[in-house]
Structure 1
Amino acid sequence: MATTHQPPFGPFRPHRLLACAALLVATAAGAQSPHVVKPGETLWGISGQQLDTPLRWPEVQQRNQVGEPRLLQPGTVLYFADGRLVPEGAAVVTAVEGRASRKRAGVPEQVLTPGLPIQAGDTLITGTDAFVTLGVAGGSRVVLPSRSALEVLAIDANTVRLRLIEGRVESQVHKQQPNQQFEIRARSMGLGVRGTHFRVRDEDGVLTGEVISGEVVVQRTAQSEPPLVLREGRGAVLLESGPSQAQGLLPAPQLVPETTARNDRTFRFTPVAGAQTYRLQLARDERFLLPVYEQRGPGPSFTVPAELPSGLYQLRLTAFDAARLEGLPGDGTVYLPTVEGGAGGQSTSTALPDGRVEVRWPGIAGQRYTFELARSPDFAVLLVNEPAVYATGMTVGPFALGGRYHWRARQATPDGAASAATGFGGSFDIPAR
């Protein structure tokens, strides 16, 4: 196997999942396409890829105001061309998981990809098991989970106005200047915020607003009623006629301590008094700007399917009360172990006489898969990254170093991305020499 050279900054470390850097958007004409940072990438490697030489990494660092280059965060958007670094008339998609698209009048529907600019008049739509993160002025982020639709009404350096058509939207808004406005509309309501983390949900015929931190002012667009102020830890079912009543949100469910020590994918938690159902979410970062999976059920446990690749994840649990308000989040770091066989059948790893290893998985012949090999279960640094495998097996090696190697094969979507919904994984050991 070819030797893998480490850049001077070293690999991405999963225990250093920190808040994403502020979004910086170049608006100069003819600007080079932005780059959305992936796990394990460094300024050294990105500069070599985008600027033909890794020696220009200080230039990229300065232009994008990156602090510590070894802590480059997944989802950060980097720009390489000169020009104003202030969003003007557009936002940027910073992360996509699964199938999501953009609709714009007079333009064919377009699949969302990281780095794609979003303008007023655009509508973002997420499919089943899909998530989109949108970066807007000042480093604020908007996360659109599965089966949701969001219209961009206005967006520039001073105004962000969005309309939730259906589903859910979760916003993390940085503290703004007095002349800046951030508002999410849903039905006949407008929710204006400043320096806050909140959710708006229009699901199963019920419209709710829930504030995790900060403050939200809810006002009917007709302004026939006085505004409702939702403060930290409170929410309300938002009624289109009659007054809406704020109430406290349920506390966060707590994981049973020994559940994280078990080598399985079932996470058990202590039931919350008054809870009717629960939601589990998994993400690649602590701020949940890179979500990858969720499920909802009665509890008091959730089992994550084998199709989701093994590795470290951030886990979030919430409880729903009888009014269907979603409670405060309980977050933690968990590890998903490898499950041999993936979606069905059995995966195998067979050592060959020449020192190579043949890996096979129970996939579909002729289907395209992405195949990855790494030394660590989080796949932070890839030794093999093959995006187009039209088979159900790969031969890798020979290996210069002994130890455990981890692999995963995921079904490729029509646009070439890897799907977390259909995948296989495993590991094998190479004897030390």
Structure 2
Amino acid sequence: MKTMRVNPKAIIRSTLLAALFSLTAAQSWAEEWVYTVRPGDTLSGISHDYLISTDYWPKVKQLNGIGNVRHLAPGTRLRIPLEWLKQHSAIVKVIASRGDVSLIDANASMALTSNTQLQAGQGIRTGRNSSITIEFADGSRILILPNSEIKIESTTRNNDTGVTTLSVQVLKGQIENRVAPQQPGGRYRITTPAAVAAVRGTTFRVSADDGGDVMRSEVLQGKVNVTGSSVSRNVGAGFATLAKTGQPPSIPTQIPAAPDLSGLIKRTAVTDVNFSWPAMTNVVSYRAQLAQDASFNTPVYNRLIESPQVTWQALTPGNYFMRARGIDEMGFEGFNASHAFVIIGPPKTPKAYSPKDEATLPNPRPFIAWSQIQESNFYHLQIATDQAFSQIFLDIPNIVNTNYKPIEDLTDGQYFWRVQSVSSDGSHSRFSAARTFTIHGNAQ
């Protein structure tokens, strides 16, 4: 058998070339836009349409090694640095806000509401139980959680190319990012004093602790490049990294899986809803969020809890969306599990029909009737001898029909009656307005 000899210098050379290629590719991805030549294109025309000056065409020629500028072959891909492109300041729009959310500006401080427009240089601060979702020109969104503060460092867009550049600084707290797929050359950066996270299109979270000196980045979809102290880490979906000021980001570690919310109820009439789910291994706490929109643009509640159970109090009837995730001992938050449920309102109150109010009846077994309620399964009838219903004469809780006739004679005298509807889950309407009738054996 022949022994293959390996040249160590060749290995080193190929490794260096691979590293250089990787670095060049990363720089190209971050700093350049690629234009594909179309029939009839000229360098001066491309420069006029897309670049900050028509005079840049010689630079494009030199950078791309073009010999004959009169004959650009269709399909040729031209590399163009981002700083050569026309850029326009892009507006940032508030999609939704809740609670104590304020604009931080050198000139003013004001509360933020939906449809407010923001621009580079301005900041946002959220208070306790408060949140806000902002949207950039390319459709990317950031949900800013309670007790957080960010600054919009820059936001530009080239309307012709669609290239968007965004930079947001997280001063404290936590944000959740949904980044739209970027055009080649687009940049989306989240910065903290500890590190920088750069992406092209993904869903991820960034939090800043201890005055921004500690940054955590958790990736749910796509890939994020986190750089600190001249060291970069590519963090893929399902992984997280931690960076401290003056230290490189940690080697990515796996984040907790989503909790199991499959056993939670989906429909209830109770307004204080308690949810609990199976405990997870390697998890020390949980985050639970509640919203009335599936996108969680405006969470109603955002809570950190030690055990896998949460109570949402005083909810009004309507549709709700809950999501929960585990948090490990490093402080990394895991994948979300979502659960939709509805708080149903009480059924409507039936209307009393018969007998007429204040009627005098000769029949000791009067026919009592009321309107039908669609969402009702039963009716609850009460007949009393006093208007306050403290002296209940008959209490019939589970009447299926919309009428009732006593099975025994009522003695002569005045009676008061009322009825309420009851749904299958036990929720009930208010009682109808009380009516009165009098039984008089000699009445005609």
TM-score (norm 2): 0.55
The one-letter code sitting in structure 2 at the alignment partner of 1:192 is A
Aligned AA for 1:95? A
**Is 1:91 aligned to 2:98, yes or no?**
no
Go from structure 1 to structure 2 and tell me whether the alpha carbon gap of 1:258 and 1:326 turns closer, same or farther (over 3 Å shift): closer
Alpha-carbon distance in structure 1 between the residues aligned to 2:197 and 2:248: 17
Partner of 2:14: none
Letter matched to residue 322 of structure 2: L
CA distance, structure 1, for counterparts of residue 119 and residue 334 of structure 2: 32
Secondary structure, counterpart of 2:296 in structure 1: coil
> What secondary structure, in the 3-state scheme, does the structure 2 residue paired with 1:274 have?
coil
Q: CA deviation at 1:321?
A: 0.4
Deviates more, 1:119-128 or 1:282-291: 282-291
Structure 1 residue 229 displacement after superposition: 0.7
Q: Pairwise mapping of residues 325-344 of structure 1 onto structure 2 (< 5 A)?
A: 325-336=332-343
CA distance in 2, matches of 1:242, 1:94: 35
* 2:309 is equivalent to residue 301 of structure 1: yes
Q: Is the 8 A contact 1:87 1:137 kept in 2?
A: no
- Please state how far the C-alpha of 1:310 moved relative to its aligned partner: 3.2
Report the equivalent of 2:129. Answer: 129
Tell me, what secondary structure is at the counterpart of 2:231? coil
- Partners of 2:306 and 2:149 in 1: how far apart? 26
Which residue in 2 is equivalent to 1:287?
Answer: 295
C-alpha spacing 1:429/1:335, structure 2 compared with 1 (3 Å): farther
Unaligned runs of 5+ in 1: 1-85, 340-348, 354-374, 377-402, 405-425
Matched with 1:145 is 145
1:109 aligns with 2:114: no
Q: CA offset at residue 120 of structure 1?
A: 0.7
**Alignment partner, residue 56 of structure 2:** none
Question: What is the alpha-carbon distance in structure 2 between the residues aligned to residue 232 and residue 116 of structure 1?
Answer: 33
Residue pair 1:283, 1:292 contacting (<8 A) in 2 also: yes
Query: What is the one-letter code of the residue matched to 1:114?
Result: S
Which deviations, in whole Å up to 9, do the C-alpha atoms of 1:398-425 show, x marking residues without a partner?
xxxxx99xxxxxxxxxxxxxxxxxxxxx
1:324 equivalent to 2:331? Answer: yes
The 3-state SS of whatever aligns with 2:244 is coil
Residues 269, 178 of structure 1: CA spacing in aligned structure 2 closer, same or farther, 3 A cutoff? same
Aligned-partner residue type, residue 269 of structure 1: W
How far apart, in 1, do the equivalents of 2:328 and 2:345 lie?
34
Deviation at 1:165, TM superposition (A): 0.5
Q: How far, CA to CA, are the matches of 1:197 and 1:427 in structure 2?
A: 44
Of residues 231, 247, 251 in structure 1, which corresponds to 2:236? 231
Judge which range, 201-210 or 138-147, deviates more.
201-210
Residue identity over aligned pairs, in percent, reads 27
Which amino acid is the alignment partner of residue 272 of structure 1?
M
Partner of 1:216: 224
Assess if the C-alpha contact under 8 Å between 1:282 and 1:315 holds in 2. yes
| Matched-pair contact (CA < 8 Å) for 2:132–2:144 | yes
> In the alignment, which of 258, 263, 266 is matched to residue 252 of structure 1?
258
The residue type equivalent to 1:90 in the other structure is I
What's the CA shift string for 1:70-105, capped at 9, x where partnerless?
xxxxxxxxxxxxxxxx98432110101111010111
Shift, 1:430, TM fit:
7.1
Structure 1 CA distance, aligned partners of 2:218 and 2:429? 42
Q: What SS does the aligned partner of 1:156 have?
A: strand
For 1:168, which of 169, 174, 178 is the aligned residue? 174
Over the aligned positions, Cα root-mean-square deviation in angstroms equals: 3.1
CA positional deviation for 1:269: 0.9
Which amino acid in 2 is paired with 1:229? N
Query: What's the CA shift string for 1:245-276, capped at 9, x where partnerless?
Result: 20011001112515446654001111111110
Q: Name the structure 2 match of 1:195.
A: 201
CA distance in 1, matches of 2:111, 2:335: 32
Aligned partners of 2:325, 2:210: CA distance in 1, in Å?
18
C-alpha distance in 2 between matches for 1:258 and 1:164: 35
Equivalent position SS for 1:124: strand
What is the letter of the counterpart of residue 235 of structure 2?
Answer: L
Give the secondary structure class of the aligned counterpart of 2:330: coil
1:358-373 pair list within 5 angstroms: none
Distance in structure 1 (CA, Å) of the matches to 2:131 and 2:151: 15
Structure 1 residue 239 displacement after superposition: 2.6
Equivalent-residue separation in structure 2 for 1:272 and 1:160 (angstroms): 37
Q: Counterpart of 1:272?
A: 280
CA distance in 2, matches of 1:146, 1:311: 24
- Aligned match of 1:53: none
Confirm or deny: 8 A CA contact 2:98 2:132 kept in the other structure. Answer: yes
TM-score, structure 1 normalization: 0.56
Contact map agreement 1:94 1:135 (CA 8 A) in 2: yes
Q: Name the CA distance, whole Å, in 2 between partners of 1:314 and 1:138.
A: 26
Larger Rg: 2
